[in-house]
Structure formats: structure tokens, C-alpha cells
Structure 1
Amino acid sequence: MSRGWSIYVIALVVLNIVATVWLLWWTSRRPKGGPDPSSTTGHVWDGDLTEYNKPLPKWWINLFYITIVFSIGYLAWYPGMGNLAGWSGWTSAGEHDQDKAAADAKLAEAFRAYEGQPIDRIAQDPKAVAFGAAIFANNCAMCHGSDARGAKGYPNLTDADWLWGGTPDQILTTVLQGRQAAMPPLAAAIGGDVGVTEVAAYVQSLSGIKADPALAAAGKTRFGGVCAACHGVDGKGNPALGAPNLTDRTWLYGSDFATIREAVTLGRAGMMPAHEPIIGETRSRLAAAYVWSLSHPAAGQDDSP
């Protein structure tokens, strides 16, 4: 809160307290000689029910004063006057941090058994997989979907196709450290609009999609000179670079001609954030174990007798 707003809030609070005290004092004054027992407000109901104009009892008035004194003490103890911290030093942020620390300690105790464990081993424990599913729902489902089947630009985590590799260590590294895809715009490098069209046709032909043979043949040469550096001469990709396999039927952004041309022309820059700084190392392991179990259903079965 800025200094100006803080002064405004303090002035407003003080003005309200002073005005309340004055109003209470003014309305509780007793006339000289005592109240007129015949004085009424003029309100009459049912012919004989009259509202008299009499002051409140002193004990009731004093209760009002006590509440005002309490409010002043409350504002002095807790931060309720602009930027003034209050004598107690209490803050909502501090209380949040204490509650979070207590909750984190409970979670750490619950997750202690999984610290440093390989995710394929963790995935054999149904309880751990349930923990991982909850962590996934809170932190990963907004991109990959509640069923982990992904969407356009977000990988399906339930199949056997992995951009950065599907081994337990590779999946864990992806969750802990994140990934940054970097396909640069290639239109200028492969011959402009004509080159993009030819390469797009060739890429479609790699996965068995019907494409113009002449365009695909010309695109193969251009692909080998530029695109093969990441996707390989055979187009099967490179998990070390996150370069997808272009020979299967799994497409992150779509397999239609226009979408492929867009990718070649403009490039792609998908980003998976690192989750270790967000949810910690052990919870990242549990989430990764859940992801592992989705494409390895047998892993989630407990083989213990």
C-alpha cells in the first residue's frame, strides 16, 4: 500500500471512531431535569401502543463504549491502520507461511518413504501412485488434461511416444528440470515458400500420409540438408534434442498440410516448466511415477504377496 493510501485509511478509521463516540454521546444525553415521561416519538400502533422517547439505560450505553475501546485496542495490536504493523507483529503472510510450513512438514513425513526412489519402483506402490495422481491433478492437468492425454501442443502421456525419452530417468529429468523445445523458423534456410511446401509434403509422406510424389521427392533433398540435423536422416527424431519422430502417426500440433507448413515456416517453441522449484524433489518423483504408470499399467500393480 502506498504512503498516500495508508494515510487515507488511517484518517478514515480515526474519523469513524471519533464520529461513533460523538454520536453515542450526543444521542445518550439526558435533558436537564430528567426525561419527560410523557415525551413520545409520535409513533402509535393499534390505537394504544405508543413509542416513548426515552434514553437507553446507562449499562447499555457503557457496553457501546466498551466495544469502541476494544476496537481501538484491536487496531493497536493487529495491523488495521494502513501500513502500521501493530504491536503484535502479526501478518497474514506470516500466518500463511506458518500454516504452509506445518502442512509441508506433514506432507514431508508422508512422502519420506519415496525420497530418492526410482520412479518405476515408486509406481509399484498403489498408495504412491494415488499421491502422484493428486499431485498431477493439481500441477500438471491444466496442460496435459485430467486424463493426461494432452491436447494440441501438449503431449499425450499415456502412450509410448516420448519427445525427450521415456525411460524412468528421462521422465524424472523432464519433471524436475523442465524442457524447452526449440525448432527455429526454417523457411529462409530451405528455399522460401516453395521449399516449405516441398518439405511439408515429404514430412507427410514419412508417416504414410498421401502426398504429391514430386513435391515429396524434392522435399527429401531439402530435408536432408537442413532438417535431418535434428530429426535424423530417416526422420525418426532425436530424444536428446526433443526432436519428434516424424515417421509415426503421433503429432503434437497436427498432421494436416497447413499445420506442418506453419511449423516449418514459423518454428515451434514448446516449454515445460521445471517443477522441482515448485513442488519439490519428492513430489516431483511421485508425479513422474504416476506418469510412468500411465504408459506401464503393470507398474501400478503390487506384486508383493
Structure 2
Amino acid sequence: MMTQGWSWWVIAIVAINLVGCVWLLWWTGKRRPGDPKPTDTSHYWDGDITEYNKPLPKWWINLFYITIVFAIGYLIYYPGLGAFAGVSKWTQQKEHATDKARDDQKLEKTFAPYAGKSIDVIARDPKAVALGRSIFNNTCATCHGSSAQGAIGYPNLSDDIWHWGGSPDRVLQTVLDGREGVMPEWGKVLTGMGGDNAVDYVIAYVRTLSAPASMENNFMAAQGKSLYNGVCVACHGVDGKGNQELGAPSLADDYWLYGNSTESLRQTISSGRHGTMPAHRQILGETRARLVGAYVWSLSHKPGSTASKASAEQQ
């Protein structure tokens, strides 16, 4: 917000400019005693070309004065004199809010047919999916990518792996209210339980969850199993398939949100992770959230896909 001192400074500058323009018009249009006649300048070229010094027409000068009067009226009606808000009280925020309300009203007519519908139902409508894709590209692609395949730390939305549940209601809840996944730091705890190599033992065991045959004659995995059962089983389960109520991912598949390198897994276990999916209820509203949810749903539920068949069986 502009201080009173700066406000008066701006007002003074504007007033000086306006008065200066009026004075300049009056001074340059004034004829003084002794001035030559407009046709008597004594400037000649090529014998028959004469330079005149005729004043501007009165109507032209009056247009300049009218422009100055208009500028004064504009500065009274709109904000332009320091902190003076103008008699109209116009602001960019109000203008933006008015334009947004008008455009939102138009959009609501477009989105109205999908209000309240389940996202799996909406996903059957190609037009709705196209609308959802447009919303996704404007809102979600920053984190999840234009192809929705995610990146390190950002989930792939085009597969059938859902850390928080893949039912229509769970997906919609994720979009509307966001999610916050926290993996605690377990480095010190595990070291206290199993020594300096404890974290690596757990990593070795976790790798066997997606390849049980590798457990055979695997000393490090055998050591890690007891550590896993003492610390990790509470969230990820005995079989390592996770808990969607907690957002605890399955460790028994080949998908790794933060990468599957030993260094990445060591950092995850030792230092923990904190992932946040922002809530979009206030940003998108419920109907647009349903449309973007339908688009995401359609990526992993294409006709004939395993996920699509499973969903149909559940219904």
C-alpha cells in the first residue's frame, strides 16, 4: 500500500505535468509585439519557395485542451492520483473478479452435465475425458507431466498402482482434498536394533518381496526380515503390500516412487520422505475435479485393460 508521502509526491508530479501542458499550449500559441506576420519570415529557397510561420488552427489547439480536460476527468473517476481510489473505486482485483465470475458462469454451463456423477461414469464420455485432459494439462501436468507418467517423487497416474486407493471415490477424494504421505526416519532406530548395516539388511529383504525366489541363501535379506517385522510391518504389512488407508505403498511390486537404487532406498529408510498432494477443491471446484479425476481414471482403465475388467467385476 502506498504511503501518504509517496501519494502526495505522485499527485504533485501529475499536477505539474498537467499545468505544464496547459502553459506550453498557451505560451506557444501566443503572439507577441514585434513578431513578424505569419507570411513575413524572410525565409526563401530556390527563389520562389517561402517558409511561413502560421499558428496552428484554433480547433486543433482546442483539441489539446479537451484532451487535458479528459485526463483530469479520468484521474478523478479512476485511480491515478497517488492513493486516491477514484470516485468509481475501480481496482484490478475487482475487474479480475468480475471477468472471472462471468467466465466461470460460462464454464459451469459446460460442466453442468457432469455435476455429481461418479468419475468412472464420466470417463465413458469422450467429450468429458477431453475436458478433463485440458484441466489436467493446465493444473496437474506441472508435477505429473503432460503424459501423466510422473517423475521421481511424483506418482505415475497412467498405471494401475494407487497408493491411496484406486476406487472412483478415493481418486476423487485425492484430487479434492489432497494427500500427505510421510515416511518416518528409521535410520537411527534400525542401527540401534541391528548395527551399522541394518538399513542395508532391510533394503535386501525389501527387494525379495517382489522376487521371493531371491530370498534363498540370502544372508542380508534374512537379517533384514526380522528388522522389517520389527519396524516396517506396521505400515507396509507382513507381505509388504502396503496400506492404502495410510498411503503406505506396496513394496511387493516393481514400482518405486523415489527410484529403486540402493542409494535412494537408503535415503528413504534412513532419512524418511514427505510427499504432499495439494488439495484442489478451492482451485477447481467439485465438478472440474470430477472431470480431471475421470481423465486420470481413463488412463489406467482403457477398454479391455486388466484394471477396467476388475472395475467392471466389482460393479
| TM-score scaled by length of structure 1 | 0.91
Q: Confirm or deny that 1:154 pairs with 2:154.
A: yes
Q: Confirm or deny that 1:268 pairs with 2:273.
A: yes
CA shift in 2, pair 1:230/1:98, >3 Å: same
Q: Confirm or deny that 1:60 pairs with 2:60.
A: yes
How big is each residue's C-alpha offset from its partner over 1:211-231, in whole Å with a ceiling of 9 and x where there is no partner?
992222211111110111111
Which 10-residue stretch deviates more, 208-217 or 284-293? 208-217
Q: Confirm or deny that 1:197 pairs with 2:200.
A: yes
The answer for unaligned runs of 5 or more in structure 1 is none
How big is each residue's C-alpha offset from its partner over 1:11-53, in whole Å with a ceiling of 9 and x where there is no partner?
221121111111221211112266433236x7x7778655433
Does the aligned pair in 2 maintain the 1:187–1:265 contact within 8 Å? yes
> Aligned Cα RMSD in Å?
2.4
Does the aligned pair in 1 maintain the 2:176–2:280 contact within 8 Å? yes
Q: Distance in 1 between matches of 2:49 and 2:114?
A: 77
Q: Which amino acid letter does the alignment assign opposite residue 201 of structure 1?
A: A
Task: Give the aligned partner of residue 31 of structure 2.
Answer: 30
The answer for unaligned runs of 5 or more in structure 2 is 309-315
CA shift in 2, pair 1:33/1:118, >3 Å: same
Displacement of 1:108 in angstroms is 1.3
Q: Percent identity?
A: 57
Q: Distance in 2 between matches of 1:45 and 1:9?
A: 49
Displacement of 1:54 in angstroms is 3.4
CA shift in 2, pair 1:180/1:48, >3 Å: farther
Q: Which amino acid letter does the alignment assign opposite residue 248 of structure 1?
A: D
Does the aligned pair in 2 maintain the 1:21–1:65 contact within 8 Å? yes
Displacement of 1:7 in angstroms is 2.5
SS at match of 2:90: coil
Task: Give the aligned partner of residue 144 of structure 1.
Answer: 144
Task: Give the aligned partner of residue 233 of structure 1.
Answer: 238
Q: Which amino acid letter does the alignment assign opposite residue 53 of structure 2?
A: N
Q: Which amino acid letter does the alignment assign opposite residue 233 of structure 2?
A: A
Displacement of 1:293 in angstroms is 0.6
CA shift in 2, pair 1:56/1:200, >3 Å: same
How big is each residue's C-alpha offset from its partner over 1:66-100, in whole Å with a ceiling of 9 and x where there is no partner?
11011101111111212211112222211211111
Task: Give the aligned partner of residue 127 of structure 1.
Answer: 127
Which 10-residue stretch deviates more, 83-92 or 28-37? 28-37
How big is each residue's C-alpha offset from its partner over 1:128-172, in whole Å with a ceiling of 9 and x where there is no partner?
111111111111111111111111111111111111111111111
Q: Which amino acid letter does the alignment assign opposite residue 247 of structure 1?
A: A
| TM-score scaled by length of structure 2 | 0.88
Task: Give the aligned partner of residue 251 of structure 1.
Answer: 256
Q: Distance in 2 between matches of 1:50 and 1:93?
A: 58
CA shift in 2, pair 1:68/1:242, >3 Å: same
Task: Give the aligned partner of residue 209 of structure 2.
Answer: 206
SS at match of 1:245: coil
Task: Give the aligned partner of residue 5 of structure 1.
Answer: 6
Q: Distance in 1 between matches of 2:261 and 2:65?
A: 77
Residues paired across the two proteins, number: 299
Does the aligned pair in 1 maintain the 2:41–2:51 contact within 8 Å? no
Q: Distance in 2 between matches of 1:269 and 1:290?
A: 26
Task: Give the aligned partner of residue 313 of structure 2.
Answer: none
Task: Give the aligned partner of residue 15 of structure 1.
Answer: 16
Displacement of 1:57 in angstroms is 2.2
CA shift in 2, pair 1:67/1:201, >3 Å: same
